[in-house]
Amino acid sequence: MSELTLTVMRLGFLAVLWLFVIVAVQVIRSDLFGTRVTQRGSRRGGAGDGRAQRAQAAPPQQRQQQPPQAGGRRADRGRRGAPTKLVVSEGTLTGTTVALQGQTISLGRAHDSTIVLDDDYASSRHARIYPDRDGQWIVEDLGSTNGTYLDRTRLTTPTPIPLGAPIRIGKTVIELRK
Amino acid sequence: MSAISPMPNMPNTTNTTTISTEGPPSRRNTELALLAFAVLIPCFAYANVGLAMDGEMPSGLLGYGLGLGLMAGVGHLVVRKFARYADPLLLPLATFLNGIGLVIIWRLDQSPRLQARKFFTASATNQLMFSALGIALFVAVLILLKDHRILQRYTYISMVAALILLVAPMFFPAKFGARIWITIPGLGSIQPGEFAKIVLAIFFAGYLMVKRDALALASRRFMGLYLPRGRDLGPILAVWAFSILILVFETDLGTSLLFFGMFVVMLYVATERTSWIVFGLLMSAVGAVAVSTFEHHVQERVTAWLHPFDAFKDGSSDQIAQALMAFGSGGVFGTGWGQGHSDLIGFAANSDFILATVGEELGLAGVMAILLVYGLIVERGVRTALAARDPFGKLLATGLSGAFAIQVFVVAGGVMGLIPLTGMTMPFMAQGGSSVIANWALIAVLIKISDTARRPAPAPAPSPDAEMTQVVRP
């Protein structure tokens, strides 16, 4: 065997050896698994305003207490006595609060609602609560099966919500508070 | 009335993210491709050795290649059938190391210098047979062990079994200065410590899973460290005393270090308390120093480590010096297969000192690649532990890969002169039946855990959206 052949084989073997290691590392790289974060594009056009974006950015099931944030009072600038939080006062989610930061809050059994209602009498997309241009909070029934009640009256049109008035959805009652 | 209400003007949801769990693919074909690669490289090395030493293709190449390929193929098919979602890297990496080890053992068999020795026996064929036995055990574990959590039931039985395995060699005559073999006349000898490693990991995992809260939470804070209560120190003290006893009666530094190290690693992982590591290091240092002052065999090892080149003056064993010179003459790219003089190491050149041959013939580049492959096996083990959903599997995978890592460190460190040499074998590469069989079993358990860990979770309960809304009847 000539010296040259042996040298070529020696270096060739090392190259192949390292190639094996590199391929193995590449397999590890392509093997990272776990949770995958996908960007969802614009799913459906609609009449929602730009502020609605933040509504869905919040995790859908907010069971924890969320203190009202100072930065979230943009909507009620210029209005004294505007509500700062939404409180669930009856039903399985009693005690849940959601800070009102100018976002649209959707209510229903659908898992992507802002407040997911575990309530047999609620529809998937039951109602939504949103601020109008003046910062007045409006509740709107989304054609639910059993209807949305503000105090004792069943809603037919989007209606402004007075502070502290109970909104009944199935067995759940929510109200806006300061 | 429709159950799902229409949404006339839902707000548009632009630029939002969904976080979902991604089902891992089974990756069996990746494994097959890597496995083919892992069989071809040792074949290349085998041909290279023959060409360099005799100037012709070795006659055994076909048989060797087929043998290794067959073993790898059987292993792969069984993994495909019984552990579909297992980690794709563990089997190819282990096969690769086993193949390279076989080539080095065969290469040392060819050495005239070793053949001239009094007790020379060609060990490559034996090693191939032991590797086949190892694969057989691997297959048996994969088929018979339906779920690694079954092992949890045998926590205390494992403890007893491990004690028996560890204590048994004391009653057999010492070989090469260490009582770590059980000799069965006519059949050969086995090294039970290698199997005890796996059994003990099962015991530690089962025990710590139950006791970890007591060990982690009931503690006082002192100087930035969480000091465990006296009674919780019991188990670590017992294991420590036991490993010291092994050291004293079996004069086996490696095994005692391995078991104590494994226990400390698992204790740390189970409790997240750094204080255990501090305690463990202190205790093992104290134990090692104390024992080495009065135990002659251990003392000899320490002296040989501190002054390896004195061997040429006083005529004691020059193995370590020869190993160091082998590494030195290898340089960065090595001398090439079959062209080194690592056979000068003489006794145990193909078992404890096998890494020196890699160091001489493949150089620093080769040693690094081999150590990286070991590192990748350990990494896959730890990744398995991270992905495992049950605490027992987590601890078992950590313990097994920790033991594997410690063993590689202890052997490589000993051969390279970083720590005193201990009589342990390089997993998969070194000549020795018990070692290769036990390590195949270890890989099988890891593969089984990773199969459970990576198996896609069962489909979630049907979404509440799909249920009908009940209608209020006045």
Give the residue, A91 or B366, on which the prediction is more confident.
Answer: B366
For chain A, the three-class secondary structure string (H helix, E strand, C coil) is CCHHHHHHHHHHHHHHHHHHHHHHHHHHHCCCCCEEEEEECCCCCCCCCHHHHHHHHCCCCCCCCCCCCHHHCCCCCCCCCCCCEEEEEECCCCCCEEECCCCCEEEECCCCCCEECCCCCCCCCCEEEEECCCCCEEEEECCCCCCEEECCEECCCCEECCCCCCEEECCEEEEEEC
| A5 interfaces chain B, CB cutoff of 8 Å | yes
Residue among A38, A42, A143 minimizing CB distance to B5: A143
A65 has pLDDT over 50: no
Which chain B residues contact residue A53 at CB under 8 A? 13-16
Residue among A27, A35, A130 minimizing CB distance to B21: A35
User: Tokens 């809603």 correspond to what residue?
Assistant: A155
Average pLDDT, chain A: 75
Calculate what percentage of chain B has a pLDDT beyond 90: 31
**Residue to substitute from A3, A13, A126, interface B, most B β-carbons within 10 A:** A13
* pLDDT reported for residue B420: 86
Of A65-74, A75-84, B57-66, B266-275, minimum mean pLDDT range: A65-74
- Under the banding of pLDDT at 50, 70 and 90, the label for residue A89 is confident
| A32 interfaces chain B, CB cutoff of 8 Å | no
Residue among B22, B37, B472 minimizing CB distance to A121: B472
Q: What is d(CA B323, CA B312) in angstroms, rounded to the nearest whole number?
A: 13
Does residue B263 sit in helix, strand or coil? helix
* pLDDT reported for residue B165: 84
| Token pair belonging to A139 | 């509740």
Measuring CA to CA, which residue among B7, B86, B32, B40 is closest to residue B452?
A: B86
Are the beta carbons of A18 and B55 separated by less than 8 Å? no
Residue B397: its H or E element: helix B391-416
Give the residue, A56 or A90, on which the prediction is more confident.
Answer: A90
* pLDDT reported for residue B453: 87
Interface of A with B in 115-134 (CB under 8 A): 118, 120-126, 128, 130
Q: Nearest-CA residue of chain B relative to A107?
A: B10
* pLDDT reported for residue B138: 94
Q: Which distant-in-sequence residues (6+ apart) come within 8 Å of B49 by Cβ?
A: B58, B103, B106, B107, B110, B337, B338
Q: Which amino acid is at B329?
A: S
* pLDDT reported for residue B27: 82
Residue among A14, A47, A143 minimizing CB distance to B365: A14
Q: What is the pTM of this model?
A: 0.73
Kindly report, residue by residue over B204-219, the tens digit of the pLDDT.
899 888 887 777 776 6
Kindly report, residue by residue over B130-156, the tens digit of the pLDDT.
999 999 999 999 999 888 888 888 888
Neighbours of A69 (CB within 10 A): 11
Question: DSSP code of B178?
Answer: B
Of B20-29, B61-70, B193-202, minimum mean pLDDT range: B20-29
Residue among B21, B41, B464 minimizing CB distance to A20: B41
* pLDDT reported for residue B193: 80
Give the residue, B4 or B218, on which the prediction is more confident.
Answer: B218
* pLDDT reported for residue B221: 67
How far is the CA of B226 from the CAs of A70, A78, B215, B255, in angstroms? 40, 54, 10, 29
A60 has pLDDT over 90: no
* pLDDT reported for residue A39: 55
**Residue to substitute from A8, A93, A123, interface B, most B β-carbons within 10 A:** A123
Residue among B6, B12, B463 minimizing CB distance to A52: B12
Q: For helices B253-271 and B192-217, what crossing angle results, to 10°?
A: 30
- Under the banding of pLDDT at 50, 70 and 90, the label for residue B17 is low
User: If 0-12 CB within 10 Å is exposed, 13-18 middle and 19+ buried, where does residue A149 land?
Assistant: middle
B76 has pLDDT over 90: yes
B374 has pLDDT over 90: yes
| Token pair belonging to B474 | 């006045």
Give the residue, B312 or B364, on which the prediction is more confident.
Answer: B364
B178 has pLDDT over 80: no
Measuring CA to CA, which residue among B299, B303, B256 is closest to residue B403?
A: B256
A35 has pLDDT over 60: no
| A172 interfaces chain B, CB cutoff of 8 Å | no
Q: Which residues, in sequence order, are bridge partners of residue B371? A: none
What sign does the dihedral B249-B253-B255-B258 (CA atoms) show? positive
Are the beta carbons of A35 and B34 separated by less than 8 Å? no
Q: What is d(CA A150, CA A141) in angstroms, rounded to the nearest whole number?
A: 10
Are the beta carbons of A142 and B8 separated by less than 8 Å? yes
Kindly report, residue by residue over B266-294, the tens digit of the pLDDT.
988 988 878 778 888 888 888 878 887 87
Are the beta carbons of B18 and A40 separated by less than 8 Å? yes
Q: Nearest-CA residue of chain A relative to B96?
A: A20
Mean pLDDT of the region A132-143 = 87
Q: Nearest-CA residue of chain A relative to B36?
A: A20
For B35-56, the three-class secondary structure string (H helix, E strand, C coil) is HHHHHHHHHHHHHHHHHHHHCC
Give the residue, B405 or B239, on which the prediction is more confident.
Answer: B405
A38 has pLDDT over 80: no
A46 has pLDDT over 70: no
Are the beta carbons of B12 and A25 separated by less than 8 Å? no
Average pLDDT, chain B: 83
Are the beta carbons of A145 and B3 separated by less than 8 Å? yes
Task: Check if the beta carbon of residue B454 is closer than 8 Å to that of residue B87.
Answer: yes
Between A and B, how many CB-CB pairs are < 8 A? 196
Are the beta carbons of B51 and A9 separated by less than 8 Å? yes
Between β-strands A35-40 and A137-141, what pairing exists: parallel, antiparallel or unpaired?
unpaired
Q: What is d(CA B219, CA B213) in angstroms, rounded to the nearest whole number?
A: 10
Does residue B26 sit in helix, strand or coil? coil
User: Tokens 């000993």 correspond to what residue?
Assistant: B414
Reported ipTM: 0.84
What sign does the dihedral B313-B314-B315-B317 (CA atoms) show? negative
Q: What is d(CA B116, CA B133) in angstroms, rounded to the nearest whole number?
A: 30
Give the residue, B323 or B8, on which the prediction is more confident.
Answer: B323
Task: Report the first-to-last Cα separation within chain B, whole angstroms.
Answer: 16
Between β-strands A148-150 and A153-154, what pairing exists: parallel, antiparallel or unpaired?
antiparallel
B370 has pLDDT over 90: yes
